[in-house]
Amino acid sequence: MKLYGPPLVGFLLAAVVFVVRELCPFWSTVALTGEILFFLSGLIAGIRLPDLDLLAPGLSHRSGITHSCIPALIFWYFGLSPIAAGLALGIAFHLSSDLQPKSWTGGALIKFPLIGSIGMLSPFWLIANVIGCLAIAMEVVLGEPVDARQMILALCIAGAGWYFWREEKRPLLPLMILGFGILLVHAVRGGTLSVKLVWQYFA
């Protein structure tokens, strides 16, 4: 249940919001709440989604298909931006934690169908996809109104707090990777390497 519970809860929440959106005649007045709930559903699902490779036929654990920003990109491609952003952030949390195995051997290595393990390129794959996930999340956030950004920030902090307090015994390295990734994405987008300016995404 621990493995597939969060993705199931996340996607069920998204399904409920979709149904309510279609049936509620007053949806336009609560659309912002719906966007936030879509983001939350993606965040909940994304935290555990990478490990669904354990249940997928033909995929080895630490599959490069699920341990990447690919799932978030698929949702983004189909216009489900709030879900994609939440999914991307949840996956980024997970991948940043995967950067500190006991040793870079066996099940810790990233693997692809037909190709197999990519060996010591695995940490670089994880870092690149953490940055890719953060880029997706930040791109979506920029398109949201200020109220939504602030609520998303609150969800990000709460989600990170829960995940790294409950699930990760050594949170320092993952949090450093996430912080570096956020600053790097901001700088590439034309900003400067400043925490203060990154904060302006949410203000």
Whether the predicted pLDDT of 203 surpasses 70:
no
Which amino acid would we find at residue 195?
A: V
Confidence (pLDDT) at 194: 47
Q: Among 85-89, 111-115, 148-152, 173-177, where is mean pLDDT lowest?
A: 148-152
Helix axes 172-188, 81-97, angle to 10 degrees: 130
**Binning pLDDT at 50, 70 and 90, where does residue 87 land?**
very high
Confidence (pLDDT) at 177: 92
Task: Find the mean pLDDT for residues 145-151.
Answer: 80
- Express each pLDDT in 92-129 by its tens digit: 999 999 999 888 998 899 999 988 999 999 999 999 99
**Binning pLDDT at 50, 70 and 90, where does residue 183 land?**
confident
Whole-number percent of the chain with pLDDT over 70? 90
DSSP per-residue letters across 50-116: GGGGGTSTT--TTBTTTSSSHHHHHHHHTT-HHHHHHHHHHHHHHHHHTT--SSSSGGGS-EETTTE
